[in-house]
Amino acid sequence: LGVLDYFDTKCASSKEITDRAKARIPGGVQHNLAFNFPFPLAIEKAEGAHLVDRDGNTYIDFLQAGGPTILGSNYGPVNERVADVIRESGPVTGLFHEYELKLAESIHRYMPHIEMYRSLGSGTEGVMAAVRGARAFTGNKMVIKLGGAYHGWSDSLVYGLRVPGTFRMNAKGIPFATTSHTRESFPHDLGQLKRKLVENRALGGTAAVVVEPLGPESGTRPAPYDFNAKVRELCDEFGALLIFDEVVTGFRVGMGGAAGYFGVTPDLTVLGKAVSGGYPMAGGVGGREEIMATFGSGLDGKSGAHIQVGGTLSANPLSSAAGYFAIEEMARTNAPVIAGRAGDRLTRGLQRLIDRYGLPFVAYNQGSIVHLECSGVMLLDMHNPLKLLKENKPRKKQMEHMGAAYAAHGIITLAGSRMYTSMADTDEVIDDALDRFDQVFA
């Protein structure tokens, strides 16, 4: 079947309901991951490594909701315990409950540098809060991010350099002035980062350097192994805080996150996704006690010293309990390592197929984060991104079209170029996926 034939002939029910959705939902779908999807599938069931759509078609799920479900989708043992909490307290009361502490204690157990943790509503909110806290703590104004990095959709961090291989940000609706305290450095160019830190001295100093520790866009532009340690040194030299955005990497590259993996300690860490085990309101910020005091509650009698962060549903019992149970379950089952091994097997198999068919792609992974890129994009010179982006645009487009073909063969990916594996990905699941990739490549 051709890709579009697949949707037309096998997905009648998905088509009917998503056509209807166009009248009430802008663009017909609500979730930004679904925006990237080749055709609007309506999913009815999720379990472990698989999804089933409304028409009864089964897919191997390498989207895993964009990363939070390291234990696999719809994980029963966590669901049951969360259901008990809901039966007792319902999803929200607005007052203190035990699970917000248990979650913070669990995070500290596996990421000891997170001495204190403030739960918020999402990774986006966590980054916003981290940046605000860094400004309040240091008294400095400027923030530096790396081009091509995704830190959520807040005004001052969306705007971005177009870095090959990463998604292009849409800055429509964001006044340029909103970004005037944000500067971008080309990924992994320490010389340029240092120059920006120097320039920022005249602009109010640098409050923080924010990085995705694996490299922009979840490692789509992979960072050299010693990059984070060098950024740490530069931050110390210039009095800036180092913020690790571990929304994707936290618990995924290991229970200690990327900080544990690289052996580099950030001042602040943003968590999201896995921190509530796939349940809603996944996100927050944590770090050293003296910095986290900036996020205080006012109960210490120093309310004037605190920054404003919060949210009606922040730290609700449901997401706190889900996060706590999921984190302890990931530790008990060794889920990050098992998911990482599945990522290794998938990557090796993909590269074998790429070589066999002589395709202009390359497969690589950092544990359970698997990238399937066009090799042209990977070879690009960072310093000429616009020219090179243009040259490789057709190939990048082709990768997205491949994503549609994978879906028509029963594999869900993120835009054809990224896959997340989970603990549910047994050797059989990965080998089944590789057979399907083989059919598409053939």
Binding site for ligand PLP (CB under 6 A): 66, 122-124, 127, 150-152, 212, 218, 245, 247-248, 272, 282-283
Q: In angstroms, what is the minimal distance from the CB of 150 to ligand PLP?
A: 5
CA atoms within 13 A on the CB side of 290: 4
- Of 33 and 101, CB closest to ligand PLP: 33
What is the spatial distance between Cα 341 and Cα 339, in angstroms, rounded to a whole number?
5
Q: In angstroms, what is the minimal distance from the CB of 121 to ligand PLP?
A: 8
Burial of 432 (0-12, 13-18, 19+ CB in 10 A): middle
Longest dimension (CA), the chain: 68
Antiparallel, parallel or unpaired: β 58-61 and 411-412:
parallel
- Of 52 and 65, CB closest to ligand PLP: 65
- Of 53 and 125, CB closest to ligand PLP: 125
What is the spatial distance between Cα 247 and Cα 282, in angstroms, rounded to a whole number?
9
User: Could you tell me which residues are beta bridge partners of residue 59?
Assistant: 51
Q: In angstroms, what is the minimal distance from the CB of 217 to ligand PLP?
A: 8
Q: In angstroms, what is the minimal distance from the CB of 212 to ligand PLP?
A: 5
71 φψ region: left (φ > 0), alpha (ψ -120 to 50), beta (else): alpha
Q: In angstroms, what is the minimal distance from the CB of 59 to ligand PLP?
A: 21
Q: In angstroms, what is the minimal distance from the CB of 72 to ligand PLP?
A: 19
Which two structure tokens, joined as six digits, stand for 17? 């309901």
Which CA distances in Å does 90 have to 83, 85, 310, 319? 9, 7, 20, 11
Q: In angstroms, what is the minimal distance from the CB of 53 to ligand PLP?
A: 23
The residue with tokens 């703590």 is: 137
- Of 154 and 178, CB closest to ligand PLP: 154
Output the residue with the shortest Cβ distance to ligand PLP: 123
CB of 328 closer than 8 Å to CB of 82: no
Q: Which phi and psi angles does 253 have, rounded to 5°?
A: -85, 10
- Of 256 and 349, CB closest to ligand PLP: 256
